[in-house]
């Protein structure tokens, strides 16, 4: 398969990028692992569920309709259920290597003159005792299962952690019939109030969420944290407690809230594997881009949450700008993105930065992780084992990994990376994964027949 | 209100799959994880080391906590795999390759990064 521009990721950023480039006469192929376009924000119920009111689970439905209808009449080729595991540079462009889902065994290759990475992000969850119990899910995961499968994990839920995503998750679960016992946010009310304008700017739907919390009578506990999730083989309740101004749990404030579901999240992290294996420079944990959304590798653009967490509206603006720039590059003309997109990006980036400083992880969070808490969920490595490795001289994530196997499992450290770095007292570093997905050895062997499986 | 009512879903007729031998009702289009959640099941794997129960965590294919055996094939991500009529779904013990944890020789071993 050949194309001019391969856009990887069909969330808000990828959709806006694909439409912008296609409208400028570029042959675009939009690739996504999911069964339908939309990404996380516009995740749609499976087609066979025949939802007549999917908008009941969404904000910004008009924008989605515009994107969806635009895509339908555009010349963009959409490849769903294509899990991209690696993008390689070739003499005349790039090869996108994908596995056909959901089995992810059959390989497919797409050759493109240029690539636009719009791979979004995934949720960060800080460990706490009991976080591996069934019934504890990520906040975004609860939302994804609800939007995509029209299911909820239980009857009575707690939504906890920190960040703006907790709001739509709490109101979404409540609208779907779950009793939301509380929204537990570790950031304090004063800090939130100070950043209220940014919140309102970034989340135009913020007011809607506030009204939703009231309508569903969801109690909001700010400056509170989850201390422990209880249960034997399944979650039965959660102990929450107030945080003092010093970031420590205030003794005597613990209270037990019975529930069968805990939707937890502490912000998001960008998906950067494809960019990293292409050699793109990162800025912290996100793909570094210039004002046209170009990475430092010629022919590679990036947009949306892969370049920094900022919400769906920012992803849309960045996607549009990236799509215009890629089209101009392929045609040898000037980019000319919509001035409104440039303005929106500037404003939204500013509010994203403000939000970022509003919703900080609670101070001293690594201290809350008891020694018996499993931090690496895949390899079942406890915080105690990690601390032992640190005592033995392991000074960073990578050495801890070699000592304990933490981060070596199926998820490749995506779930535990932040926690391991936190326990080690250093800043999280990019993981440098060569593949974005596990690849069957047979596929690898055929991929580089002369080198054999590596 | 349940999620199906909220979204005005009018799916085609439900069908039956089995989970650990017992019949479970499934709707066309749902993933294995969605079917199990709808049936009130939240765990379908026991971990390799401690034998602890696990189910959905990230819900989007990133964490691999939801691994399950479907029609004899282990290590399927329940949150991604769509259910099909007659599917035989089973709790996955450890690696899903039997007590010894050896590979099944089907060439489905995965390459991951180990350093
Ligand atoms: C689980 C989850 C649920 C969320 N729910 C909400 C919500 O309800 N409300 C809200 O305001 N924000 C939500 N967010 C935040 C959300 O990430 C952003 O607001 C927005 O969706 C970001 O847009 P994007 O285009 O940058 O990336 P995304 O929307 O994340 O889109 C990225 C797309 O890239 C695809 N992709 C990534 N890697 C590959 C690969 N290797 N191969 C093929 N395809 C790939 C993914 O399948 C995805 O469709 C959620 C985030 C997560 C992780
Ligand atoms: S729940 Fe994380 S991969 Fe399925």
pLDDT value of position A205: 61
pLDDT value of position A7: 98
Chain B CB contacts of A149 under 8 Å are 30-31, 33-34, 37
ipTM of the complex: 0.94
Buried b (16+ CB within 10 A) or exposed e, B83-108: beeebebbebbbbbbeeeeeeeeeeb
Q: Do A134 and B53 touch (CB under 8 A)?
A: yes
Residue B43 in contact with ligand 2 by CB distance below 6 A: no
Which residue, of A296, A315, A337, is where some domain finishes? A337
Element (H, E) at A99: strand A93-100
pLDDT value of position A347: 92
Q: Compute the mean pLDDT over every residue in chain B, rounded to the nearest whole number.
A: 87
The answer to whether A106 touches A99, Cβ cutoff 8 Å, is yes
- pLDDT-above-70 percentage for chain B: 84
Chain A CB contacts of B69 under 8 Å are none
Any idea which architecture B11-94 has in CATH?
Answer: Roll (3.10)
pLDDT value of position A451: 45
Half-sphere exposure of A293 (CA within 13 A, CB side): 37
Asked whether residue A287 falls in the same domain as residue A240, the answer is no
Residue B32 in contact with ligand 2 by CB distance below 6 A: no
Q: Please check whether residue A449 lies inside any domain of the structure.
A: no
Task: Tell me, in angstroms, the distance from the centre of ligand 1 to residue A389's CA.
Answer: 35
* CB neighbourhood size of A41 (10 A): 24
Quick one: pLDDT band at residue A354, thresholds 50, 70, 90? confident
Q: Do A152 and B28 touch (CB under 8 A)?
A: no
Number of domains in chain A: 3
Q: Which of the residue ranges A119-133, A284-298, A397-411 would you say has the lowest mean pLDDT?
A: A397-411
CA A349 to chain CA centroid, Å, is 17
| Model pLDDT for residues A161-219, shown as the tens digit of each residue | 999 999 999 999 999 999 999 999 999 888 888 877 766 655 556 667 778 888 899 99
Task: Tell me, in angstroms, the distance from the centre of ligand 2 to residue A66's CA.
Answer: 30
Output the CA–CA distances (angstroms, integers) from residue A443 to A98, A108, A258, in the order listed: 10, 10, 47
Could you tell me the two tokens for A97?
């290597």
Q: Is A150 exposed, middle or buried (0-12, 13-18, 19+ CB in 10 A)?
A: buried
pTM exceeds cut of 0.90: yes
Asked whether residue A138 falls in the same domain as residue A246, the answer is yes
Asked whether residue A142 falls in the same domain as residue A261, the answer is yes
Q: Please check whether residue A348 lies inside any domain of the structure.
A: no
- Report the CATH number that the domain containing residue A395 is assigned in CATH: 1.10.10
Please give the Cα distance from A79 to A77 (Å, whole number): 7
Q: Do A438 and B8 touch (CB under 8 A)?
A: no
Comparing A143 with A363, which gets the higher pLDDT? A143
Instruction: Report whether the peptide linkage leading into residue A102 is cis, meaning its omega lies within 30 degrees of zero.
Output: yes
Asked whether residue A14 falls in the same domain as residue A118, the answer is yes
pLDDT value of position A280: 97
Average pLDDT, stretch A431-449?
84
CA A161 to chain CA centroid, Å, is 15
Rounded to a whole number, what is the distance in Å from the CA of B20 to chain A's nearest CA?
A: 17
Q: Is the pLDDT of residue B105 over 50?
A: no
pLDDT value of position A351: 87
Which residue, of A233, A250, A266, is where some domain finishes? A266
Nearest to A109 by CA among A92, A96, A90, A93: A96
CB within 6 Å of ligand 1 — which residues?
A: A 8-14, 31-34, 39-41, 82-84, 118-123, 140-141, 143-144, 165, 168, 268, 271, 274, 304-305, 311-312, 315, 436-437; B 59-60
Residue B77 in contact with ligand 2 by CB distance below 6 A: yes
Please give the Cα distance from A16 to A293 (Å, whole number): 13
pLDDT value of position B115: 39
| Model pLDDT for residues B42-85, shown as the tens digit of each residue | 999 999 999 999 999 999 999 999 999 999 999 999 999 999 99
Q: Compute the mean pLDDT over every residue in chain A, rounded to the nearest whole number.
A: 93
Beta bridge partners of A31: A8, A79
Q: Are strands A2-8 and A107-117 parallel, antiparallel or unpaired?
A: parallel
> Which of A49, A56, A105 shows the shortest C-beta gap to B29?
A49
Contacts of A177 (CB under 8 A, 6+ apart): A152, B1, B2, B3, B6
Asked whether residue A284 falls in the same domain as residue A317, the answer is yes
Ligand nearest to the CA of B63: 2
Ligand nearest to the CA of A317: 1
Among A122, A127, A149, A445, the residue to mutate for chain B (most B Cβ within 10 A)? A149
pLDDT value of position B102: 36
pLDDT value of position A206: 65
| Model pLDDT for residues A24-39, shown as the tens digit of each residue | 999 999 999 999 999 9
Q: Can you tell me which residue has the tokens 């995740």?
A: A43
Q: Please check whether residue A419 lies inside any domain of the structure.
A: yes
What number of C-beta contacts closer than 8 Å exist between A and B?
194
The answer to whether A72 touches A25, Cβ cutoff 8 Å, is no
Average pLDDT, stretch A321-343?
93
Report the nearest-CA residue for atom 40 of ligand 1: A84
Q: Please check whether residue A234 lies inside any domain of the structure.
A: yes
The ligand 2 atom nearest the CA atom of B58: 2
Task: Tell me, in angstroms, the distance from the centre of ligand 1 to residue A441's CA.
Answer: 28
B28: nearest CA partner in chain A: A48
Please give the Cα distance from A88 to A112 (Å, whole number): 10
Task: Tell me, in angstroms, the distance from the centre of ligand 1 to residue A445's CA.
Answer: 31
Question: What residue numbers bound the domain in which A139 lies?
Answer: 125-266
**Domains of chain B, residue spans:** 11-94
Q: Is the pLDDT of residue A442 over 90?
A: no
Rounded to a whole number, what is the distance in Å from the CA of B65 to chain A's nearest CA?
A: 7
Q: Please check whether residue A360 lies inside any domain of the structure.
A: no
Q: E strands of A314-445, at which residues?
A: 374-376, 381-382, 439-440
pLDDT value of position A290: 97
| Model pLDDT for residues A256-268, shown as the tens digit of each residue | 999 999 999 999 9
The answer to whether A77 touches A28, Cβ cutoff 8 Å, is yes
Average pLDDT, stretch A301-321?
97
């Amino acid at each position: 398969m050949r194309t001019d521009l391969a856009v990887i990721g069909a969330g808000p950023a990828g959709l806006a990028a694909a439409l912008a480039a296609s409208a400028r006469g570029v042959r675009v192929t939009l690739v996504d692992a999911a069964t339908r376009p939309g990404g996380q924000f516009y995740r749609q119920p499976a087609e066979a569920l025949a939802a007549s009111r999917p908008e009941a689970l969404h904000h910004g439905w008009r924008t989605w309709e515009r994107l969806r209808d635009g895509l339908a009449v555009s010349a963009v080729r959409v490849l769903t259920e294509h899990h991209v595991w690696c993008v390689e540079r070739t003499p005349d462009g790039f090869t996108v290597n994908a596995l056909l889902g959901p089995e992810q065994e059959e390989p497919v290759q797409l050759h493109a003159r240029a690539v636009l990475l719009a791979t979004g992000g995934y949720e960060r969850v800080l460990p706490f005792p009991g976080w591996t119990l069934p019934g504890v899910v990520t906040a975004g995961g609860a939302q994804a299962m609800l939007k995509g499968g029209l299911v909820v994990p239980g009857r009575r839920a707690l939504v906890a952690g920190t960040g703006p995503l907790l709001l739509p998750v709490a109101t979404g679960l409540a609208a779907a019939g779950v009793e939301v016992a509380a929204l537990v946010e570790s950031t304090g009310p004063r800090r939130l109030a100070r950043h209220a304008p940014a919140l309102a700017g970034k989340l135009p739907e913020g007011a809607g969420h506030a009204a939703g919390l009231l309508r569903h009578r969801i109690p909001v506990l700010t400056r509170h944290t989850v201390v422990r999730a209880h249960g034997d083989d399944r979650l039965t309740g959660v102990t929450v407690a107030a945080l003092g101004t010093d970031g420590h749990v205030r003794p005597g404030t613990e209270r037990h809230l019975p529930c069968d579901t805990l939707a937890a999240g502490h912000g998001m992290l960008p998906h950067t594997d494809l960019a990293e294996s292409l050699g793109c420079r990162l800025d912290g944990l996100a793909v570094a881009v210039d004002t046209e959304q170009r990475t430092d590798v010629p022919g590679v653009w990036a947009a949306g949450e892969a370049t920094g967490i900022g919400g769906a509206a920012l992803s849309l603006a960045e996607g549009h700008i990236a799509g215009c720039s890629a089209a101009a590059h392929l045609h040898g003309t000037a980019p000319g993105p919509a001035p409104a997109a440039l303005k929106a990006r500037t404003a939204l980036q500013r509010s994203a930065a403000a939000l970022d400083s509003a919703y900080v992880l609670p101070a001293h969070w690594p201290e809350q992780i008891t020694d018996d808490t499993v931090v690496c969920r895949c390899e079942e490595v406890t915080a105690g084992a990690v601390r032992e490795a640190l005592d033995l001289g392991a000074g960073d994530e990578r050495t801890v990994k070699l000592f304990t196997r933490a981060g070596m499992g199926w998820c490749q450290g995506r779930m535990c990376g932040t926690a391991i770095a936190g326990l080690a007292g250093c800043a999280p570093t990019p993981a440098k994964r060569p593949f974005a997905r596990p690849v069957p050895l047979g596929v690898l062997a055929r991929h580089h027949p002369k080198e054999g499986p590596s | 209100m349940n999620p199906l009512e909220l979204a005005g879903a009018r799916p085609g007729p439900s069908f039956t799959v089995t989970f650990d031998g017992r019949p479970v009702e499934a709707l066309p289009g749902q993933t294995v994880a969605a079917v199990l959640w709808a049936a009130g099941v939240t765990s379908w794997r026991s971990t390799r080391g401690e034998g602890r129960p696990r189910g959905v965590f990230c819900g989007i294919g990133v964490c691999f906590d939801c691994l399950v055996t479907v029609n004899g094939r282990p290590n399927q991500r329940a949150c991604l795999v769509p259910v099909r009529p007659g599917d035989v779904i089973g709790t996955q013990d450890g690696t899903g390759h039997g007590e010894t944890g050896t590979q099944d020789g089907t060439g489905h071993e995965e390459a991951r990064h180990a350093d």
